[in-house]
DNA sequence: CTGAAAGCGCTTACAG
DNA sequence: CTGAAAGCGCTTACAG
């Protein structure tokens, strides 16, 4: 009886890289690599018995799928691009963290791109991330170049827009109405009896401008709108800048009796500067912010603000993305997560 | 004369994916794919003439290398793993941003992992990121599981430790001495004449504990050390917690005349709480912080703190990583970036 | 300095 | 429900 050459042991089959491959798992489970692949992904009809054997084999060998090989073979990787304007703004840090917390356990890697509020830069990022064959895109807002829009559409990967909402059809978005939230704060101030309400803003990105619109809408319908009450500054938002904007606002004639800052970092700088100047907040001057950032509840006095649901937006959008990637039904294209007016002692 | 079959046009050679491949570039340049590959990477001897032709062809066709294919073929991807404890701490946001700003233009993608200050979680992340064949690792500090250490060593990818320094040999690190910085702040307070200097800390991660050590060292050598002056709280650091720690500190007998908070968010909460309680800072109670975070210069009064070079650390470490990946000489294994005592009005 | 061959580890049609 | 073949796009030795 001729000796058959012995079957290659699992050890032998390992390549030079030392990596446990799908082939190793298949050998161990006594099935073909393709069946092993299907069992592990669970996307095709495989008998429960076989699937179980493969799963056990994979666990035993400590198999970890190779994302590069998977991406190359399937023309769709396990990464999802997340484009945000800037990470020194805590709003986007919260967004990143919540997206990451949903995507990572589901086996997806969030690739974070920072656009610096520049559509040209964003377009570049999209172009270079496309090479990574991302499974999907999570982008901030709707404001981008025509070319970027086309790149996203042509990629075939699903794209979800964050932070804003739209009523355009066929577009996925998770956010809230920046204009409505801003109008709500303005109305709160009007209701409190403030008459000359200034709007102080920095950065002047699309969402800030939407907030400006909400403010105008509310002021106009109360017949209180005065362009002299708008302090618009394109510099980067910061606590220190809040103090400067307050100083500028107080120079307008007649003086405002309230300042609505488009972001809490400015508002925090505003109340601190007011205190430094011995201005009584809210009796001489009311101050309101937006976003309810860390520390706003600790200010002197604690800050009235709009609590925005960025963590919920990130989580919801990430889950929506997972559904889209699984071809699950995604009935709602546009999810409005709302906002919450937080009245504290500064107004 | 028999008609030769026409050469495949560049259009024809494109695969079903529609992607421009290296083969397309090679065809256009009239060289083999391998020569095209070498020309584009610039790592091997290729004649200038050929290299130029390939570069022109690549540009003309709009060729973008496929990271997945490259990672698969070379067993080393173009991604670098960056492991940080938490991104709600601005210190690490600054680190991420600076690393990203160096790595991305160099063609590397930073894969950000969040350990939540948990070594077991970090080990898991390392294990799962290893499947991505990262070119290198950037990790926070030296405190990790034995298994994690082994995984990193066995990966063959260079690893640089951030935020701390060591005198251990054969280890790359970029940071500063947390203990020395903390001792320097304590000495500043002692020099100012404060006698009962409390140390208030949260989170209690390794770097916080190193700061506690620095504080102890300075207090002991001034014969002022008293364990009753340490307020150590394992909760997550925040502005609000700073106020609570201040309240606790003021219950110690005899009362402290200064509080050194291990992080600026706590210190900011501390000065705000002191103001709320009408405590004169610094005359009744001095307050110092650590890290010089946003807003510390705007506090009432502005905060004395230690400015830590996290952006420089990120930049330097990322550049060191690029050098290591290029096999360039990296003469200094451990880079001490120092720190800066910023004296403002709170002490 | 340049190239032909083989392979990285997986998945997509196509059969059965 | 399962598998043999081919290929995703690149790079690593090995030749010349």
B83 pLDDT tier (thresholds 50, 70, 90): very high
Q: Which of B5-19, B95-109, B130-144, B235-249 has the lowest mean pLDDT?
A: B5-19
**Total count of residues recorded for chain A:** 347
Question: Model confidence over A3-42: pLDDT tens digits?
Answer: 333 333 333 333 456 788 998 899 888 888 888 988 888 7
Q: pLDDT at residue A329 above 60?
A: yes
The phi and psi torsions of B213 (rounded to 5 degrees) equal -65, -45
The phi and psi torsions of A288 (rounded to 5 degrees) equal -130, 155
Q: Token digits for B28?
A: 């256009």
Burial of B100: CB neighbours in 10 Å, binned 0-12, 13-18, 19+: buried
Percent over 90 (pLDDT), chain A: 70
Cα(B97)–Cα(B36) distance, integer angstroms: 34
Cα(B88)–Cα(B86) distance, integer angstroms: 6
In A, residues 71-110, which contact B (CB 8 Å cutoff)? Answer: 71-72, 75, 77, 87-88, 90, 93-94, 96-97, 100, 109-110
Question: Model confidence over B201-254: pLDDT tens digits?
Answer: 999 999 999 999 999 999 999 999 999 999 999 999 999 999 999 999 999 989
Residue A8: predicted pLDDT: 36
**Mean pLDDT value of segment B141-147:** 97
Q: pLDDT at residue B7 above 50?
A: no
Residue B320: predicted pLDDT: 95
* Bridge partners, residue A110, by sequence: A80
Q: pLDDT at residue B313 above 80?
A: yes
Residue A16: predicted pLDDT: 54
Q: Token digits for A245?
A: 């904007």
Residue B5: predicted pLDDT: 33
Mean pLDDT of chain A: 91
d(CA A3, C1' D11) / Å: 39
B100/A88 touch (CB, cutoff 8 Å), yes or no: no
* Bridge partners, residue A111, by sequence: A81
Residue A302: predicted pLDDT: 98
Nearest CB partner across the interface for B72, out of A69, A240, A294 = A69
Cα(B113)–Cα(A98) distance, integer angstroms: 13
Q: Residue A261 CA to chain centroid, in angstroms?
A: 22
Per-residue HEC secondary structure of A101-166 comes to HHHCCCCCEEEEEECCCCHHHHHHHHHHHHCCCCCEEEEECCCCCHHHHHHHHHHCCCEEEEECCC
Q: CA angle, corner B293, sides to A347 and A230, nearest 5?
A: 40
Q: CA angle, corner B258, sides to B252 and B263, nearest 5?
A: 100
Question: Please, what are the domains in chain B?
Answer: 16-65 (1.10.260.40), 73-176+311-337 (3.40.50.2300), 178-307 (3.40.50.2300)
The answer to whether A167 CB is within 7 Å of strand C is no
Residue B1: predicted pLDDT: 34
Q: Which of A69-78, A165-174, A195-204, B143-152 has the lowest mean pLDDT?
A: A69-78
Chain A: give the shortest CA distance to residue B193, in Å.
27
Cα(B315)–Cα(B335) distance, integer angstroms: 12
Residue B77: predicted pLDDT: 85
**Mean pLDDT value of segment A188-205:** 97
B167 pLDDT tier (thresholds 50, 70, 90): confident
Question: Model confidence over A119-155: pLDDT tens digits?
Answer: 999 999 999 899 888 999 999 999 999 999 999 998 8
Cα(A343)–Cα(A135) distance, integer angstroms: 41
- Token pair 């509310």 is at which residue? A218
Cα(A120)–Cα(A85) distance, integer angstroms: 12
Residue B107: predicted pLDDT: 86
DSSP SS3 for A334: strand
Q: pLDDT at residue B3 above 70?
A: no
Residue A17: predicted pLDDT: 63
Nearest CB partner across the interface for B238, out of A96, A100, A294 = A294
CB B226 within 8 A of CB B194: no
**Mean pLDDT value of segment B87-92:** 93
The answer to whether A19 CB is within 7 Å of strand C is yes
CB atoms within 10 A of CB A126: 26
B8 pLDDT tier (thresholds 50, 70, 90): very low
| pLDDT top residue among A325 and B310 | B310
Q: pLDDT at residue B310 above 80?
A: yes
Residues 6+ apart with CB under 8 A from B173: B142, B160, B161, B162, B164, B165, B166, B333, B334, B335
Percent over 70 (pLDDT), chain B: 95
Q: Residue A347 CA to chain centroid, in angstroms?
A: 30
Q: pLDDT at residue A308 above 90?
A: yes
Listed by range, residues with Cβ under 7 angstroms from strand D are: A 31-32, 34-35, 38, 44-47, 49-50, 69, 72-73, 75; B 15-17, 19, 21-23, 33-34, 37-38, 40-41, 63, 65-66, 69-70, 72-76
Q: pLDDT at residue A345 above 50?
A: yes
| pLDDT top residue among B181 and A169 | B181
Q: pLDDT at residue A294 above 70?
A: yes
Residue B76: predicted pLDDT: 81
Residue A128: predicted pLDDT: 87
Q: pLDDT at residue A111 above 70?
A: yes
Task: Quickly count helices (H) and strands (E) in chain A.
Answer: 13, 12
**Mean pLDDT value of segment B96-114:** 93
Mean pLDDT of chain B: 91
Q: Token digits for A277?
A: 């100047």
Cis ω on the peptide bond leading into residue B100 (within 30° of 0)?
no
Cis ω on the peptide bond leading into residue A301 (within 30° of 0)?
yes
The answer to whether A191 CB is within 7 Å of strand C is no
The answer to whether B52 CB is within 7 Å of strand C is no
Quick one: which of A18, A112, A98, A325 has its CA closest to B130? Answer: A18
Q: From B64, which residue of chain A is nearest by alpha-carbon distance?
A: A131
Residue B16: predicted pLDDT: 54
A272/B298 touch (CB, cutoff 8 Å), yes or no: yes
- Token pair 């039904």 is at which residue? A329
Percent over 70 (pLDDT), chain A: 95
- Dihedral angle sign, alpha carbons of residues B142, B147, B150, B151: negative
Cα(A92)–Cα(A96) distance, integer angstroms: 6
Cα(A129)–Cα(A142) distance, integer angstroms: 19
């Amino acid at each position: 009886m001729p000796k058959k050459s012995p079957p290659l042991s699992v050890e032998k089959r390992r390549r030079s890289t030392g990596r446990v491959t799908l082939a190793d798992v298949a050998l161990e489970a006594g099935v073909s690599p393709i069946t092993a692949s299907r069992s592990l992904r669970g996307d095709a009809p495989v008998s429960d018995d076989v699937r179980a054997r493969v799963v056990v084999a994979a666990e035993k060998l400590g198999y970890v799928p190779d994302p590069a090989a998977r991406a190359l073979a399937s023309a769709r990787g396990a990464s999802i691009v997340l484009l945000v304007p800037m990470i020194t703004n805590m709003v986007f840090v919260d967004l990143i963290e919540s997206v990451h917390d949903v995507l990572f356990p589901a086996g997806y890697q969030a690739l974070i791109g920072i656009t610096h509020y520049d559509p040209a830069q964003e377009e570049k990022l999209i172009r270079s991330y496309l090479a990574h064959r991302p499974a999907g895109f999570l982008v901030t807002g709707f404001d981008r170049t025509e070319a970027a829009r086309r790149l996203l559409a042509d990629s075939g990967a699903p794209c979800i827009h964050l932070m804003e909402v739209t009523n355009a059809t066929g577009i996925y978005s998770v956010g809230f109405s920046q204009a409505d939230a801003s109008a709500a704060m303005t109305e709160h101030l009007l209701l409190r009896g403030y008459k000359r309400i200034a709007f102080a803003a920095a950065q002047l990105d699309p969402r800030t401008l939407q907030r400006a619109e909400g403010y105008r809408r509310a002021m106009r319908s109360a017949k209180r709108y005065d362009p002299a009450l708008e302090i618009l500054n394109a510099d980067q938002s910061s606590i220190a800048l809040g103090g400067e904007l307050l100083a500028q606002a107080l120079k307008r004639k007649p003086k405002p009796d309230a300042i609505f800052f488009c972001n809490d970092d400015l508002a925090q700088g505003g109340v601190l500067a007011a205190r430094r100047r011995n201005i009584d907040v809210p009796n001489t001057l009311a101050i309101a912010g937006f976003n309810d950032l860390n520390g706003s509840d600790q200010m002197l006095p604690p800050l009235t603000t709009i609590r925005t649901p960025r963590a919920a937006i990130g989580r919801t959008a990430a889950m929506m993305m997972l559904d889209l990637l699984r071809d699950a039904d995604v009935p709602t294209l546009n999810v409005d997560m709302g906002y919450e007016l937080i009245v504290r002692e500064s107004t």
